[in-house]
């Protein structure tokens, strides 16, 4: 999941970035409101952490511009000003949550998981697709009654696919949400990672795969009913 952090205090920004990267998020940062707004307008993020007091354009203004532009990405406001009026203003402008400074990283991470759940069809910390379960806290997958260890990138890719299950995802959409930098659309890096992921999570008994290739487009993770082969005819 790709997160934008808009925060002008360098120490706070790097504290958040380092922590989130350890939690396997892809993190980009902006140190003023205008840059943050531009980045949020021109890229796809899964959530935005937005400081209120920012040089140039403040967080409320950035929030307002984003919501007016129809961008519904979950946004959590961060601020030293924890007054009721501030919270009300942020929430009225369309923020999804409000975290007063100082905060612990654990609380920030838990609240971030919470706003990501609200925007997802999956409401649990355990994501499911058929008989595959992905634990978003321990970052371990379970299938066939056993634990499947995933690398950082495999986890990020699988989490994104499951959160968007039953939707066809183009390679460029997957790239935007799972990789930090866009790369040559001709690159086969996504196919390479899908192959590795399939080797770990798919059954080898001939049943249809959970990750389906869509020719010329990308991939789709399908939520197949367990042990029901009558529906797996594509
Ligand atoms: Ca600030």
Locate tokens 């040089």: which residue?
55
How many whole angstroms from 61 Cα to the centroid of ligand 1? 14
What lies within 8 Å, CB to CB, of 86 at 6+ separation is 52, 79, 98
How far apart, in whole angstroms, are the C-alpha atoms of residue 122 and residue 166?
12
Which domain-ending residue is among 81, 101, 118? 118
- Could you give the number of structural domains in the chain? 2
Query: Are both 44 and 85 inside the same structural domain?
Result: yes
CATH number of the domain at 203, please.
1.10.10.10
How far apart, in whole angstroms, are the C-alpha atoms of residue 80 and residue 122?
32
Query: Are both 8 and 105 inside the same structural domain?
Result: yes
Q: What is the pTM of this model?
A: 0.73
Query: Are both 49 and 155 inside the same structural domain?
Result: no
Classify 25 as helix, strand or coil.
coil
Which domain-ending residue is among 118, 144, 168? 118
The answer on pLDDT for 230 being more than 60 is: no
Query: Are both 202 and 172 inside the same structural domain?
Result: yes
How many whole angstroms from 13 Cα to the centroid of ligand 1? 10
Domain that holds residue 130: 126-232
pLDDT, one tens digit per residue, over 4-49 is 999 999 999 999 999 999 998 999 999 999 999 999 999 889 999 9
How far apart, in whole angstroms, are the C-alpha atoms of residue 101 and residue 226?
46
Query: Are both 107 and 27 inside the same structural domain?
Result: yes
How many whole angstroms from 137 Cα to the centroid of ligand 1? 29
How many whole angstroms from 174 Cα to the centroid of ligand 1? 32
- Residue, of 204 and 191, whose pLDDT is higher: 191
Q: How confident is the model at residue 183 (pLDDT cuts 50, 70, 90)?
A: low
Sheet containing strand 97-100, edge to edge, reads 26-30, 2-6, 47-51, 75-79, 97-100
Cβ 73 vs Cβ 95: under 8 Å: no
pLDDT, one tens digit per residue, over 103-124 is 999 999 999 999 988 876 666 7
How many whole angstroms from 182 Cα to the centroid of ligand 1? 29
How many whole angstroms from 72 Cα to the centroid of ligand 1? 23
How many whole angstroms from 51 Cα to the centroid of ligand 1? 6
Residue of 185, 163, 178, 162 lying closest to 3 (CA atoms): 178
């Amino acid at each position: 999941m790709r997160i934008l952090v808009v925060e002008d205090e360098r120490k706070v920004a790097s504290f958040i970035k380092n922590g989130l990267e350890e939690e396997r998020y892809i993190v980009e940062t902006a140190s003023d409101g205008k840059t943050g707004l531009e980045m949020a307008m021109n890229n796809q993020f899964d959530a935005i952490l937005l400081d209120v007091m920012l040089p140039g354009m403040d967080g409320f203004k950035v929030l307002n511009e984003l919501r007016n532009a129809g961008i519904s990405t979950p946004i959590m406001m961060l601020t030293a000003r924890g007054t009721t009026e501030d919270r009300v203003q942020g929430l009225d402008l369309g923020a999804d949550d409000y975290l007063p400074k100082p905060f612990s990283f654990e609380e920030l991470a838990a609240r971030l998981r919470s706003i990501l759940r609200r925007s997802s069809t999956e409401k649990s910390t355990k994501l499911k697709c058929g008989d595959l379960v992905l634990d978003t806290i321990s970052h371990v997958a379970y299938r066939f009654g056993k634990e499947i260890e995933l690398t950082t990138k495999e986890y990020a890719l699988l989490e994104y696919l499951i959160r968007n299950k039953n939707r066809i995802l183009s390679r460029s959409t997957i790239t935007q949400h799972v990789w930090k930098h866009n790369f040559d659309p001709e690159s086969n890096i996504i196919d390479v990672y899908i192959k590795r992921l399939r080797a770990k999570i798919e059954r080898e008994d001939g049943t249809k795969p959970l990750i389906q290739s869509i020719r010329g487009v990308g991939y789709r993770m399908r939520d197949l009913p367990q042990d029901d082969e009558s529906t797996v005819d594509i």
